[in-house]
Amino acid sequence: MTSSTETINDGWGPALSDGERLCLRCVAGAMIPASAVLGMPGADDPAIMADMASSVKRDRPALARLLRGIDEAAGGRLADLDAVAASALLDRLRAADPAGFAVAEAVIARAYYRDDRVLMAIGMEPRPPFPKGFRVDEGDWSLLDPVRDRGPIWRASE
Amino acid sequence: MPVTNDPVDVLIIGAGASGAAVAWSLAETRMRIVCLEQGDWQQSSRYPSTGRDWEARQAEDYAIHPNRRAMPADYPVNDDDSPIKIANFNGVGGGTILYAGHFPRMHPSDFRVRSLDGVADDWPIDYATLEPYYALNDRMMGIAALEGDPAYPPKEAVMPPMPLGSTGEMLGRAMNELGWHWWPSDSAITSRDYEGRAACINLGHCGHGCAQGAKASTDVTYWQEAMRARVEVRTKCRVSRIETNDDGMATGAWYFDGDGREVFQPAEIVIMACNGIGTPRILLNSASERFPNGLGNSSGQVGRNLMFHPYALVRGRFDRPLDGYRGSRVFMWSMEFYETDPARDFLRGYCYQFTRGNAPATTALNGLGDGLLPWGEGHHAAFRRLFDHQAGMIAICEDLPEEINRVTLDPSLKDANGIPAPKITYRLSENSQKMLDHSVARGVDILTRAGAKDIITRSPLPYAGWHLMGTARMGNDPRTSVVNAWGRSHDVKNLFIVDGSVFVTSGGVNPTSTIQAIALHVADQIKTRIHDLFD
């Protein structure tokens, strides 16, 4: 774990502090909980959290501000509230600051939906698009016949 | 101490869509041609689609908004006073690195809006003037298309169109039931191997750099040919201003090189190719005793008449699985509502660019923003209803020119070299708003006919200021325009502009095809008139 004074040399400010990471984990778990039925981890899964915390760049300052604000609104730490109270608090804060929470949602979703377990559970191969690419069916070009039959629709300019 | 380089015959500022085309065309003259580009060459191995974190990286170094990206190549843009935010890319290839490759031509009527509809102004050139350059540009860029589109005069296709996929079939059937026009898009994407470029493999990430090289960004098209013809591209060189002499002629440009040194590049001909924001920025920053209101600005039109294309989005959810994140982002358009219809409450019109679905994180973020994807227990079930089950369209609306919509120099915001940043002042016109409303209503009709549920609309899209036009307009009258019918400044007879700044009106289609056709037209005029070019 990094401390609050650690700086990542990527130009986007200090790393998330231990407290901010703990808060982020609670937010991530509330947003996307695990599903035993579907065999999917929650967004608070340790591997996903580690990926999330280490990869957030341009959103880091705004995310850190949001997380500190959440903890402050929780009277100390969001992690110390029980699940019902934490969920109610997050609902209230999201309604008041949708733009701020959109940053957290982006960070969480982008880390969650690249985890191998998650991708396989939603039917994707766990790989980047390049170089294998994907297949797209050509489609039925005869569908254009009625469009042709109606004739030109462009407007002459002279 | 500032450095002065050896003089060149032609200095092109900007290596994007238009700079590349004009450089390639002029290369055959054997003149010494240098292009200054503030960004750098892109490495396809660094494009987001090469990594597992592709969706996250789309919002980082390859984000569309320059203030978000904030890379060394970028300059800040103050667009606080505009509901539509600027999208661009700075580097060799310019906006073509990030564009989706939707490549419609403007229509014949677009050049005659005053004559036909009594609004704005006619262009001093017409479709017939540009037609051979459109065709040449299609061959140079490698455009996939299907001949016979009833929305256009006849035109040749370079290669077969991009696949319709299940999304195109479904939407095409709905359009047929409504009796409305649709057609596979002209796409700047190779559907077949073409001139050393591999065919598209449906990565689905055209909008953040094509790792396959199938998308026609000018770094892999025109620039390869131009450099083989000995045009020099000098990267990491940010131009601050154009210098002039006592005869009122441009003598070259001042720029900051990659080490921050100020350098003067003398030139016989200066060509601006910096887009509808960058070009007026430099011209306004070139104000001097001779040109107190900015270079080439005796008309007062430099920076004015800024046009975007206001975008509306309509997206729906379907019960059946569709193409989702697979396949080119552009594949099919409709010009049903393109031409003026007196029965409507607005003039001019718009096209639809149909869209497939999105990758998983984007699906989730859209769902959260649309209120279709909850936090907590219901997240997974709701996500599965959306993922691979969405499709829709965006409407690209014609934006008529208004002097109050403009680019000026920000009094305090500057880039890393101390050059004033552009400030955007823009408001949506009543005509544009009515057009947006119409496009949303008809878009809902289309998706409803196709069987969509949970239809979401967004209008105008805020982060969609891709198309930057009108800020150094073309015209025959020096009192009301900045350049003449062949791109030469009315005021400075060796200064040319070839980017979207010269558009008189915007049309209702993506502008890159027309920008490049104009650049080729201007280049041909320079070559044809070379012996009396400055008369």
For each of chain B's 535 residues, which pLDDT tens digit applies?
789 999 999 999 999 999 999 999 999 999 999 999 999 999 999 999 999 999 999 999 999 999 999 999 999 999 999 999 999 999 999 999 999 999 999 999 999 999 999 999 999 999 999 999 999 999 999 999 999 999 999 999 999 999 999 999 999 999 999 999 999 999 999 999 999 999 999 999 899 999 999 999 999 999 999 999 999 999 999 999 999 999 999 999 999 999 999 999 999 999 999 999 999 999 999 999 999 999 999 999 999 999 999 999 999 999 999 999 999 989 999 999 999 999 999 999 999 999 999 999 999 999 999 999 999 999 999 999 999 999 999 999 999 999 999 999 999 999 999 999 999 999 999 999 999 999 999 999 999 999 999 999 999 999 999 999 999 999 999 999 999 999 999 999 999 999 999 999 999 999 999 999 999 999 999 999 999 999 9
* B420 contacts: CB under 8 Å, gap ≥ 6: B281, B285, B409, B410, B411, B413, B414
User: How many Cβ pairs closer than 8 A exist between chain A and B?
Assistant: 180
Q: Is B479 exposed, middle or buried (0-12, 13-18, 19+ CB in 10 A)?
A: exposed
Q: Answer whether A36 touches B (CB < 8 Å).
A: no
Do residue B369 and residue A94 have CB atoms under 8 angstroms apart?
Answer: no
In this predicted structure, what is the pLDDT of residue A7?
60
Q: Is residue B51 included in any domain, yes or no?
A: no
A1 pLDDT exceeds 70? no
Buried b (16+ CB within 10 A) or exposed e, B407-434: bbbbeeeebeeebbbbbbbbebbebbbe
| Nearest to B395, CA basis, from B321, B459, B299 | B459
| Nearest to A124, CA basis, from A62, A40, A14 | A40
Residues of B in contact with A157 (CB under 8 A): 108-109, 111-112, 115-116, 126-127
Question: What is the least distance, in Å, from the CA of A81 to any CA of chain B?
Answer: 17
Domain assignment of residue B380, given as a range: 3-46+58-529
Q: Answer whether A153 touches B (CB < 8 Å).
A: yes
Do residue B326 and residue A136 have CB atoms under 8 angstroms apart?
Answer: yes
Element at B424 (helix H, strand E): strand B420-425
Q: Is residue B428 included in any domain, yes or no?
A: yes
Q: Answer whether A99 touches B (CB < 8 Å).
A: no
Q: Is residue B94 included in any domain, yes or no?
A: yes
- How far is CA B90 from each of CA B17, B38, B94, B128, B342, rounded to the nearest angstrom? 11, 7, 5, 32, 41
Residue type, A108: I
Q: Which residue of B has its CA nearest to A12?
A: B70
Question: What is the least distance, in Å, from the CA of B55 to any CA of chain A?
Answer: 6
Q: Which residue of A has its CA nearest to B323?
A: A136
In this predicted structure, what is the pLDDT of residue A2?
39
Residues of A in contact with B361 (CB under 8 A): 109-110, 112-114
Give the closest of B50, B127, B380 to A128, CB-based: B50
Do residue B47 and residue A130 have CB atoms under 8 angstroms apart?
Answer: yes
Residue A21: strand, helix, or coil = helix
Give the closest of A112, A124, A128 to B51, CB-based: A128
- How far is CA B457 from each of CA B100, B114, B313, B454, B533, rounded to the nearest angstrom? 21, 32, 5, 10, 51
Residues of A in contact with B323 (CB under 8 A): 136
Q: Is residue B315 included in any domain, yes or no?
A: yes
Give the closest of A87, A134, A139 to B326, CB-based: A134
Residue B89's CATH number: 3.50.50.60
Q: Answer whether A110 touches B (CB < 8 Å).
A: yes
Q: Answer whether A140 touches B (CB < 8 Å).
A: yes
Give the closest of A38, A58, A94 to B60, CB-based: A58
Q: Is residue B52 included in any domain, yes or no?
A: no
Q: Is residue B136 included in any domain, yes or no?
A: yes
Q: Is residue B199 included in any domain, yes or no?
A: yes
**Cis check: omega of the bond before B478, within 30 degrees of 0:** no
Pairing verdict, β B33-36 and B8-13 = parallel
Q: How far apart are CA B74 and CA B443, in angstroms?
A: 35
Could you tell me the two tokens for A146? 């009625």
* B275 contacts: CB under 8 Å, gap ≥ 6: B14, B16, B88, B94, B95, B468, B499, B500, B501
Give the closest of A58, A146, A151 to B176, CB-based: A146
Q: Is residue B53 included in any domain, yes or no?
A: no
In this predicted structure, what is the pLDDT of residue A6?
58
How many domains is chain B built from? 1
Question: What is the least distance, in Å, from the CA of A89 to any CA of chain B?
Answer: 13
Could you read off the pLDDT of A72-112 as tens digits, one per residue? Answer: 999 999 999 999 999 999 999 999 999 999 999 999 999 99
Do residue B380 and residue A40 have CB atoms under 8 angstroms apart?
Answer: yes
Do residue A157 and residue B176 have CB atoms under 8 angstroms apart?
Answer: no
